[in-house]
């Protein structure tokens, strides 16, 4: 918990004291996003059911079309059968930090964006009762994303898109090291507030 608070505080302070925003050109933003996720391959030999995820990220634009983003995310996939038992859930949670390129499409109020970042996430396996039976510990992974930014009005945008996360971690399963290559696509929709 201390790590989460420290990372979030550092991100907020970085954004707060970086650069001088012009009055009509907002440099900061906060985005809440959610969407359906589909695993691209089996995880530790387990077929994952479609999942769902959520993330909250801060944005800071330091050049006309380029900025950084950082935040926290959570994704959950169920599995009817797995090495960890029947009716379990695999949850990936952790942090993301990366670069974003966003550019308007012609003279419209719609923009396209591309993101690439690093993850510091872990994978937890929960049984049917919601108890954590395995935890991979945090480790590094990566993320790429892209989509559109539709301006809804003053300083608000709708941000549909797609993202791909990849995280390779290991868990100890009754004394046997089990590699987990966790990668999935998420069709996402977000709401962005610029300030």
Q: What's the number of CA atoms in the CB half-sphere (13 Å) around residue 145?
A: 31
Structure tokens that stand for 43 in this block: 């995880």
DSSP state of 130: S
Residue 158: exposure state from Cβ atoms within 10 A (0-12, 13-18, ≥19): middle
d(CA 96, CA 118): 6
Q: Is the pLDDT of residue 97 over 90?
A: yes
**Mean pLDDT value across the chain:** 89
Domain map (residue ranges) of the chain: 2-18+27-194
Assigned architecture for domain 2-18+27-194? Beta Barrel (2.40)
Q: What is the pTM of this model?
A: 0.82
d(CA 81, CA 48): 9
Q: How far is CA 191 from the centre of its chain?
A: 14
Least confidently predicted of 47-51, 59-63, 77-81: 77-81
Q: To which residue do tokens 């003279």 refer?
A: 107
For 58, other C-beta atoms within 10 Å of its C-beta total 19
**What distances in angstroms separate CA 69 from CA 127, 144, 161, one per listed residue?**
33, 12, 16
- Mean pLDDT along residues 21-34: 79
d(CA 134, CA 88): 11
The reported pLDDT for the residue numbered 112 is 98
Give residue-wise pLDDT tens across range 65-82. 999 999 999 999 999 888
Q: Is the pLDDT of residue 49 over 80?
A: yes
Give residue-wise pLDDT tens across range 141-195. 999 999 999 999 889 999 999 999 999 999 887 778 889 999 999 999 999 999 9
One-character DSSP codes across 39-61? ESS-BTTBPPPPEEEEEEEEEEE
- Could you tell me the pLDDT band of residue 5, with boundaries at 50, 70 and 90? low
The reported pLDDT for the residue numbered 8 is 59
pLDDT winner (highest mean) among 14-23, 81-90, 135-144: 135-144
Q: Is the pLDDT of residue 2 over 70?
A: no
């Amino acid at each position: 918990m201390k790590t989460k608070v420290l990372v979030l505080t550092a991100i907020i302070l970085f954004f707060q004291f970086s650069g001088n925003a012009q009055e009509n050109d907002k440099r900061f933003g906060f985005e809440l996003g959610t969407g359906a996720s589909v695993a691209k391959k089996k995880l530790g030999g387990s077929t994952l059911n479609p999942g769902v995820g959520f993330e909250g990220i801060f944005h800071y634009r330091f050049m006309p079309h380029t900025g950084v983003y950082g935040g926290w995310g959570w994704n959950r996939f169920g599995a009817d059968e797995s090495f960890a038992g029947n009716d379990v859930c695999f949850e990936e949670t952790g942090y993301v930090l990366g670069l974003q390129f966003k550019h308007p499409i012609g003279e419209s109020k719609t923009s396209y964006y591309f993101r690439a970042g690093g993850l510091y996430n872990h994978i937890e396996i929960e049984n049917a009762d919601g108890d954590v039976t395995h935890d991979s510990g945090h480790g590094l992974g990566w993320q790429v994303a892209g989509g559109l930014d539709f301006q809804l009005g003053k300083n608000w945008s709708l941000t549909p898109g797609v993202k791909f996360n990849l995280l390779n971690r290991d868990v100890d399963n009754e004394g046997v090291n089990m590699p987990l290559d966790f990668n999935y696509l998420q069709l996402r929709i977000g709401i962005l507030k610029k300030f």
